[in-house]
Structure 1
Amino acid sequence: MEPIRKVCVIGAGTMGAGIAAQVANAGVPVLLLDIVPREGANRSAIAEGAVARMLKADPAPFMSKAAAKLVETGNIEDDLARVAECDWIVEAIIERLDLKQDLYARLEKVRKAGTAVSSNTSTIPLGRLIEGRSEAFVADFLITHFFNPPRYMQLLEMVVGPKSDPATVARVGAFIDRAMGKRVVLAKDTPGFIANRIGSYWLQVAVNAATDLGLAIEEADAIGGKPMGVPKTGIFGLLDLVGIDLMPLLLKSFADTLPKDDPYIATVRPIPLVEKMIAEGYTGRKGKGGFYRINREAGKRKEALDLATGEYRPTIKAEAPRAKLPQLVAMPGKTGDFAWAVLGQVLSYAASLVGTIADDIVAIDDAMKLGYNWKYGPFELIDQLGAKAFAERLASEGRPVPAILATVGDGSFYRVEGGKRRYLGLDGAYHDVVRPDGVLLLEDVKLASKPIMKNGAAALWDIGDGVACFEFTSKMNALDGEMLGLLGKAIAHVATSMKAMVVYNEGGNFSAGANLGLALFAVNIAAWGEIDKLVSGGQQAYKALKYAPFPVVSAPAGLALGGGCEILLHSDAIQAHAESYIGLVECGVGLVPGWGGCGEYIDRWVKSGLLPRGPMPAVAKAFETISTATVAKSAAEAKELLFLRKDDGITMNRDRLLADAKARALALVDGYKPPEPPVFRLPGASGRVALGMAAEGFHKRGLATDYDVVVSDALAGVLTGGDADLVDVVSEEDMLALERAAFMKRVRDPRTMARVETMLTTGKPLRN
């Protein structure tokens, strides 16, 4: 299969520009084209402006500024012939059939034979798009529907036609999967495909039900959020996020394209309040506010819209019901009525569409989990309710029971047999959930085996070929003494019985760092010995990992902060998911890195060859990064900050991370020798004074608080090697002792504990 070496994206709006940025994030050159503006001398101003906006946007579409350099800009009048340089052309222009068809006619004249062409449409059927095109064009055409924002959303819905060339489809699909990091879900050529068909129906049903039942929007979000596995935004918060003005556009599109007897049509009804909000600019977060808003005239007061009066009022606290789904839908009053109104309609609608919008239930579940961030797909939710009970309640209310519910009977849509997860097909038989080649998931390993060892904070698994996987399992994967204890036992086991170890988990974050709650508790009872034991225990465990007689590869995804970052720094290699956010953030809570991070980070800079020789440059670089609690906002940025080495790997697709890390570990096995302990040459007291002057400069400019200066001085003392005037040689053990002493001094300071407590209660740093 020929690789895709260059991509052209036509349409530099939010989606097109975002798609181009993700191609560039994959390290592949991309040509971004748009129309010539009506005014101005710069004929490529629209595409150029899109790139400039993305460089300033937060969250950032680009994973690094270097990626932006891979985007060339132009316009479709002067530069369309350049699509001949590209292996894949993505059309992402306005949703108008006539404009798309006109563009395809022009592309047919200039593209090279075999170049894939796809549309990012979400509303126009593939069959309509290719009307009038040649057989060769039709063979190379497909729909690739990305979700916004393209960098962060993992779902890619792919629609292929009956005449689409399988080789072209496979080539584009492989690139989207491996290079762009998306999970490709095959959808049928129907309106809205999968996720938007069900997702927009769900939102409309929920809004209707909340209005009819007289619920406050906070109550609706509490009931229809966490208990159903919906993101913390809830329903109305999600509408604010995606844009309330998008809702009527989707509804109109579906009303125009779906059969008149489709249940979706019955949900579409005028909502005067929403129409009024849109007319007045209350379109959600991108506008003046939405169902929720921040009233800046009232001291940044959080307010919510009253659905009955249409007026804003202070938000109310609504507790999410603590009940499993069967109990939730059975609750008396508005809570149960709302839960059933949403789940009854949405899940039965999804069940009725199997075979129509997708071939199987797995595709539908994956689309909703990846496209709308549901924790569970529709059929996983039905399994929680009980398929038989669900069908019986529909029947008792005189509502249609989808055929697949009759097929499943009193069984379930998913079950585990022989260590494999299986799903019910339309044929009434169960089939294995098949992963793409090169995908290894720990959740699958767990179905077929038991852990080698485990406790409440961690577990060790055999992932085949002599490789073990060490998994954090605590809340937020916070690190504590229990985890450190099992890590020591795991190292001993792998040393005698296996070849290599991968540190990896499938939580939302690799690790948010040490368990600050336990530290705060220990401080409150003055258990200083326990805290010192935790610090020294962490240092010993991490050094044991570093000098283990086998290779260790850490595979982070999401947050890898504090102690989570330090375990990366002690690994032989790192295979990071592209969306890894790595940093030594201890100074933000009034502490210094205590598990060897200071020495390891200095050693990274010394060995990088990127800095001038001498004791000060690496120390200054480490001080700059650690004292400001800098966090890399991507794995690419982590390489720039040297949390990742130059030769550490980056995996774009989260599903492929474990397999890539395992392969990296096995590649290190032959001839493996543990690293030699570093010897540090540090600037001593004079260097500490220089760093202190820098911190004081930030203080005078209002960029650092009084206590920031104190914490920075403690850090500087560690990084410069202590109080001697010029430290010639400092051992690794000396660095650990300096870290431990500085940590214990700071942890005793009430100002540190104020920062820790604020972080635990609000999730935000205290600037004291």
Structure 2
Amino acid sequence: MAEIKQVAVIGAGVMGASIAAHIANSGTPVLLLDIVPEGAKNRNAVAEGAVAKMLKTDPAPFMNKRAATLITCGNIEDDMAKLGKCDWIIEAVIERLDIKQNLYRKIDEVRKAGSVVSSNTSTIPLATLIEGMPDAFAGDFIITHFFNPPRYMRLLELVSNGATNDGVVDMVAAFADQKLGKTCVVCHDKPGFIANRLGVYWIQAAMVEAMDRNLTVEEADSVIGRPFGIPKTGVFGLMDLVGLDLMPHVQSSMAGALPKSDPFHAIYRESDLVSKLIADGYTGRKGKGGFYRLNRENGGKVKESVNLQTGEFAKSEKARLESVKAAGKDPRILMQSPDKGGKYGRAVMAKTLAYAAFIAQEAANNIVDVDDALKLGYNWKTGPFELIDEIGVDALIAMLKEDGIAVPPLLERAAGKSFYKVEDGTLHYLAFDGTYQAITRPDGVLLLEDIKRKSDRILGNRSASLWDIGDGAVCLEFHTKMNALDGDVMAIIKSAIRTVKKQYKALVIYNEGSNFSAGANLGLALFAANIAVWPEIENLVETGQSTYKALTYAPFPVVAAPSGLALGGGCEIVLHSDAVQAHGETYIGLVEPGVGLVPAWGGCKEMIRRWAENPKFPKGPMAASAKAFEIISVATVAKSAYEAKESLFLRPDDGITMNRNRLLFDAKKRALAMVEGYEPPEEMTYRLPGESARVAFEMAVDSFYRLGKATDYDRVVAGELAKVLSGGDTDITTELSEDDMLELERDSFMRLARNPGTLARIETMLLTGKPLRN
């Protein structure tokens, strides 16, 4: 099959436009078409308006605003002929069969032979969509069901049938995998496919059971949350996020499409409360609120929730259920608890997991695809069959029988066994025929979780580990909460440097947590400050400085492979690496000013270095320092790997991997490619502008203060940052070494660490997760 080099999206609504934006994120040109508004002077107004809106949307559909230039806007009256140059044409119009099929006939008149046409539908079967269409069109047609928002949701469901030509699904899947970062799950042509078929059942069961059992929304969300590895939004928070007005449509569509024998009908009913909330404008976060709202009366900001029985709002109260407290992260303990939380959790999740077993063979090729669909489409930490293994297959069967729920044949076949098991270091899953099949990874996918099943770590402690990833490369992994950095991490980094120097070729710094690293462990820092053990704090700063410097000048390549948050000390470890292979969704920055500190593990000196060495940036002692001050003083965070290059958190030649599952493979490949002839960088010397620059920086902050954009304590923190970036009590005639710069960072950090304003900021961040504007 041909390679996909140009894509068209027809339908510039929220979903269609966002799909176009994410395709543009991959560097692929996109044609975005929609209708011509009646009487419009600008015939492309709908598509152009959608792009303009997305440039202002947060979270941003674009990874970089320059990606928007890859979208060509048009309309379906004047520009259909342009589809003839496209390799993939995506239909994302209203869910009406007559409108879709009329559009398909127009597409078929102009598209080139072999181009793929797909629908983003989530409700209409493929067989229905292609009914009456020419065989050639049907052969090139599939369903590509993106999840909203397309940039951030990694699941893409692909649906084909017997009419689909060989290679069509593979071509789209390869592009979506490597260019869009998607995990592609092939689904059977059944209602709801996989994720929504099971997800909608789960939401309906949770809502009905909460109402029938007289739970509060807070209680329900606390139960259907952490104990089951489900995001803390639970169910009612999730409906607010997705939109209450969407749910009745999806649920009624599911009810209409499923046979009467399907268990969905036993729990499906329309909700008068939901209808009333929607009618009153409570459509979720996009409206006035939903099951939760913020009451802003009298200038306040009070979180409220709706009473599921009366429909009245009242102040939201934190749920305090013994079952949730006792269970922690153990779903089996919760489901066996006698209080109302335990009974609710069992009623919802036992039904849901049984339904997963009921639909699996009908909807999917295997249980792995069902688990991936729920993990990536609904953000479950563990998929339904992984969850059944945690509870115990036999324990779940016993619960179902006790509660009078039919045990699906797939679950019965698993009795006495588990759905997953490890044999000879390889993970296997239970196939529908009752045999165990090995899980294989696509070429270019290397997962640390697989490495761990096959080998023991080289060295490690409670905070970090070193793993052999083959071919002379090793991987340094953090595994603290949020991958925060502490003394134990530093110890392993130093040990890793000695080990790699003796026995290996290259080091990759990577982990498979949600975040690369949220920075230094602020809790430890606050504890040490509260008991005034200042030498311990200064020692941690010095240890971090010496450790990161040792990484930079190690006699072998060091490649950082960040994903998710890389903040503060996490950003600084990236700055000290020889090269970076970043996941596209990397959010990186030196955020220390937000907690009343300055970067002190070399972040200040490295930002000056990067801007001073950038051939496209003005030269002179003031320019690099001023740019570093501009970036660090406001705690700039790049919201993608592409944005990170604009701030030079990443260098222009650092790599970006779109698919999270391919990141370690790409980072290892990059590190090994650097081995031959590797020489560590030369130490840099600094000539900084001194007092004049410090005064200029402080004046800039004062102007923000007068405009109300900076606080009193912002001025204090910025003053210390200005001292570091200007070179302290020196001027351009003095040559500063890297160690001199590190001493400036350390001195300013310690002065701020002793200040009550900084301690208040750290405490507030730890308690609320939000910065204090003191």
TM-score interval for Structure 1 and Structure 2 normalised by the shorter chain = over 0.9
Q: 2:624 aligns with which of 598, 603, 618?
A: 618
Post-superposition shift, 1:327?
Answer: 2.0
Q: SS state of the match for residue 269, structure 2?
A: coil
- Map Cα deviations across residues 90-121 of structure 1 (whole Å, 9 max, x no partner): 11111111111111111111001111111100
The answer (yes or no) to whether the contact 1:199–1:368 under 8 Å persists in 2 is: yes
Tell whether 2:747 aligns with 1:741.
yes
Q: 2: CA distance between counterparts of 1:76 and 1:575?
A: 40
Match for residue 512 of structure 2?
A: 506
SS at 1:514 equivalent: coil
1: distance between equivalents of 2:235 and 2:403?
25
Tell me the equivalent position of 2:765.
Answer: 759
1:310 aligns with: 311
Structure 1 partner of 2:478: 472
2:10 corresponds to which letter in structure 1?
I
Following superposition, the deviation at residue 659 of structure 1 comes to 0.6
SS of alignment partner, residue 767 of structure 1: coil
Q: Give the drift of 1:166.
A: 2.5
User: Alpha-carbon deviation of 1:727?
Assistant: 4.1
**Aligned-residue offset at 1:329:** 1.4
- Asked whether 1:21 is paired with 2:21, we answer yes
Matching residue within 335, 339, 355 for 1:333:
339
> What is aligned with 2:603?
597
In structure 2, how many angstroms separate the alpha carbons of the residues matched to 1:564 and 1:479? 8
Alpha-carbon shift at residue 263 of structure 1 (Å): 0.8
In structure 2, how many angstroms separate the alpha carbons of the residues matched to 1:326 and 1:109? 57
User: CA offsets, 1:110-150, max 9 Å, x none?
Assistant: 00111111110001111111112222211211111000000
Give the aligned partner of residue 190 of structure 1.
Answer: 190
Residue 376 of structure 1 is matched in structure 2 by 382
**Aligned twin of 1:586:** 592
Q: Which residue of 2 aligns with 1:361?
A: 367
* 2:248/2:270 contact within 8 Å kept: no
Matching of residue 390 in structure 1 with residue 396 in structure 2: yes
Aligned 1:616-695 pairs, distance under 5 A: 616-695=622-701
What residue is the counterpart of 2:446 in the other structure? 440
CA distance in structure 1 between the partners assigned to 2:247 and 2:310 by the alignment: 21
Q: Which runs of 4+ in 1 moved over 4 A?
A: none
User: Which secondary structure state, in structure 1, belongs to the residue aligned with residue 8 of structure 2?
Assistant: strand
Is this contact kept in 2: 1:686–1:726, CA < 8 A? no
Matched letter for residue 313 of structure 2: Y
What's the offset of the Cα at 1:671? Answer: 0.6
CA distance in 1 between partners of 2:503 and 2:369 (Å): 40
Of stretches 325-334 and 238-247 in structure 1, the one that deviates more from structure 2 is 325-334
Amino acid of the structure 2 residue aligned with 1:161: N
- 1:350 aligned onto 2:376: no
Q: CA deviation at 1:591?
A: 0.9
Kindly provide the CA deviation profile for residues 383-413 of structure 1, in whole angstroms up to 9, marking residues without a partner as x. 1121112113323443321111111111100
1:321 aligns with 2:322: no
Q: Is the CA contact (8 Å cut-off) linking 1:747 and 1:753 kept in structure 2? A: yes
- Please name the residue that 2:69 is paired with: 69
AA partner of residue 381 (structure 2):
K
The aligned residue for residue 43 of structure 2 is 43
Q: Distance in 2 between matches of 1:419 and 1:175?
A: 31
Write out per-residue CA displacement over residues 254-302 of structure 1, whole angstroms, 9 at most, x where no aligned residue.
1211101111122221211111111111111111111110011151111
1:564 aligned onto 2:565: no
Alignment of 1:480-491 (within 5 A): 480-491=486-497
Q: Name the SS for the 1:74 alignment partner.
A: strand
- How do 1:707-746 residues align onto structure 2 when only pairs under 5 Å count? 707-746=713-752
Partners of 1:524 and 1:389 lie apart in 2 by: 48
Where do 5+ consecutive residues of structure 1 fail to align?
none
- Alignment RMSD, CA only? 1.1
Structure 1 window deviating more from structure 2 (448-457 vs 317-326): it is 317-326
CA shift at 1:75, angstroms? Answer: 0.3
The answer to whether residue 286 in structure 2 is matched with residue 282 in structure 1 is no
**Secondary structure of residue in 2 paired with 1:468:** strand
Q: Secondary structure at the match of 1:355?
A: helix
- Name the stretch that deviates more: 717-726 or 729-738: 717-726
Supply the AA of the counterpart residue of 1:232.
K
Secondary structure (helix, strand or coil) at the match of 1:164 reads coil
> Could you say which residue in structure 1 is the equivalent of 2:126?
126
Task: Indicate how the Cα distance of structure 1 residues 288 and 227 shifts in structure 2: closer, same or farther if over 3 A, else same.
Answer: same
For residues 295-306 of structure 1, what are the structure 2 equivalents within 5 Å?
Answer: 295-297=295-297, 299-306=300-307
Calculate the TM-score normalised by the size of structure 1: 0.99
TM-score normalised according to structure 2 size: 0.98
Residue by residue, what CA displacement relative to the aligned partner does 1:186-214 show, whole Å, maximum 9, x if unpaired? 11100110010110110010110001111
**Counterpart secondary structure, 1:174:** helix
Aligned to 1:222: 222
Per-residue CA shift, 1:30-85, capped at 9, x if unaligned? 01001111232111111011001100101110011101111110001000110111
Q: Distance in 2 between the 1:104 and 1:156 partners?
A: 22
Contact 1:223–1:321 (CA<8 Å) still a contact in 2? no
* Equivalent pair of 2:596/2:717 in contact (CA under 8 Å): yes
Contact 2:158 2:169 in 1 (8 A): no
Counterpart in the other structure of 2:264: 264
2:475 and 2:579 map into 1 onto residues whose CA distance is: 14
Alignment-derived partner of residue 531 in structure 1: 537
What is the CA distance between 1:626 and its match in structure 2? 0.4
SS of alignment partner, residue 738 of structure 1: helix
Aligned 8 A contact 2:687 2:731 in 1: no
Q: Partner of 1:356: helix, strand, or coil? A: helix
Alpha-carbon distance between aligned partners in 2 of 1:578 and 1:21, rounded to the nearest angstrom: 14
Contact 1:227-1:321 within 8 A present in 2 as well = no
1:453, 1:211 → 2: CA distance?
A: 52
CA distance in 2, matches of 1:307, 1:249: 20
Moved more, 263-272 or 534-543: 263-272
Task: Give the equivalent residue in structure 2 for 1:457.
Answer: 463
AA at the equivalent of 1:309: T
Secondary structure of the structure 2 residue equivalent to 1:328: helix
Write out per-residue CA displacement over residues 169-226 of structure 1, whole angstroms, 9 at most, x where no aligned residue: 2111100000001100111100110010110110010110001111111111111111
Residue 2 (structure 1) shift: 3.6
Whole-angstrom distance in 1 between the partners of 2:405 and 2:477: 46
For 2:165 and 2:673, locate their aligned partners in 1 and report how far apart those are by CA, in whole Å: 36
Provide Cα deviations, 1:702-746, integer angstroms capped at 9, x if missing partner. 111122112111111111111124344211111111111111111
* Deviation of 1:322 (Å): 3.0
In the superposition, relative to structure 1, how do residues 412 and 584 fare at CA in structure 2: closer, same or farther (>3 Å)? same
Cα distance in 1 for residues equivalent to 2:547 and 2:292:
47
Q: In structure 1, what is the Cα distance between the partners aligned to 2:697 and 2:400?
A: 70
| Structure 1 residue 693 displacement after superposition | 1.3
Q: Call closer, same or farther: CA 1:339–1:208 in 2, change over 3 Å.
A: same
- Over residues 207-246 of structure 1, what are the superposed CA-to-partner deviations in whole Å (9 max), with x where a residue is unaligned? 1000111111111111111111111111100011101111
Q: CA–CA distance in 2 between the matches of 1:727 and 1:52?
A: 49
Distance 2:748 2:692 in 1: 18
**Identity, % of aligned pairs?**
61
Contact 1:511 1:561 in 2 (8 A): yes
